[in-house]
């Protein structure tokens, strides 16, 4: 009877270490996948997974058109002049994030279409409905954090 008990316990421990834990980790790494609204509420960003990395693109703009031209806003500040006709709606502003553990995604960049600059960036999951996005130059201390909230279609 004792032997059976040990076999049962051993199999539980083995299976949990092989299957369940990686599954939990996989779920955790995908927690940023979804649609998020920056603190100013003027846009929505969809974060998705391509391969093993995470990317975010603009899917909605409060003011989609340029007021002076009445045409859809384009990436006018892109340092590569040949890409300035790219529409802001659809633009990938978050690139190449990997899950670092402890609800942090790093190694990526954030692009600011307002000035055409790209910054190093780290994303932290605050809770299931909000993330902290920190853009920085060089060291994390020299940067700015914005809190994005999860968008739900009500």
> Interface residues with other proteins (CB under 8 A)?
46, 48, 50-53, 55, 57-60, 72, 74, 79-83, 85-87, 89-92, 95-96, 109
Least distance from C-beta 60 to other proteins, angstroms?
Answer: 7
Q: Closest CB to other proteins among 109 and 132?
A: 109
Q: Closest CB to other proteins among 42 and 85?
A: 85
Least distance from C-beta 66 to other proteins, angstroms?
Answer: 14
Cβ atoms of 35 and 46 within 8 Å: the answer is yes
Cβ atoms of 127 and 15 within 8 Å: the answer is no
Burial class (CB in 10 A: 0-12, 13-18, 19+), 34: middle
Q: Closest CB to other proteins among 55 and 136?
A: 55
Least distance from C-beta 127 to other proteins, angstroms?
Answer: 27
Least distance from C-beta 70 to other proteins, angstroms?
Answer: 15
How far is residue 78's CA from residue 102's CA, in Å, rounded to a whole number? Answer: 34
Torsional sign, CA 77, 140, 132, 96: positive
DSSP SS3 for 2: helix
Q: Closest CB to other proteins among 31 and 86?
A: 86
CA distances from 146 to 5, 105, 130, 134 (A): 52, 15, 10, 6
Least distance from C-beta 52 to other proteins, angstroms?
Answer: 6
Q: Closest CB to other proteins among 38 and 147?
A: 38
């Amino acid at each position: 009877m004792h032997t059976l008990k040990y076999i049962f316990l051993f199999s539980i421990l083995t299976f949990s270490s092989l299957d369940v834990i990686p599954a939990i980790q996989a779920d955790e790494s995908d927690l940023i996948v979804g649609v998020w609204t920056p603190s100013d509420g003027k846009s929505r960003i969809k974060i998705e997974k391509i391969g093993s990395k995470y990317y975010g693109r603009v899917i909605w703009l409060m003011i989609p058109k340029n007021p002076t031209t009445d045409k859809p806003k384009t990436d006018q500040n892109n340092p590569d002049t040949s890409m300035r006709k790219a529409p802001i709606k659809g633009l990938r502003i978050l690139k190449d994030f990997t899950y670092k553990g402890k609800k942090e995604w790093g190694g990526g960049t954030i692009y600011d279409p307002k000035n055409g600059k790209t910054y190093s960036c780290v994303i932290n999951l605050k809770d299931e409905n909000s993330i902290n996005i920190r853009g920085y130059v060089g060291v994390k201390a020299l940067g700015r954090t914005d809190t994005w909230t999860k968008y739900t279609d009500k």
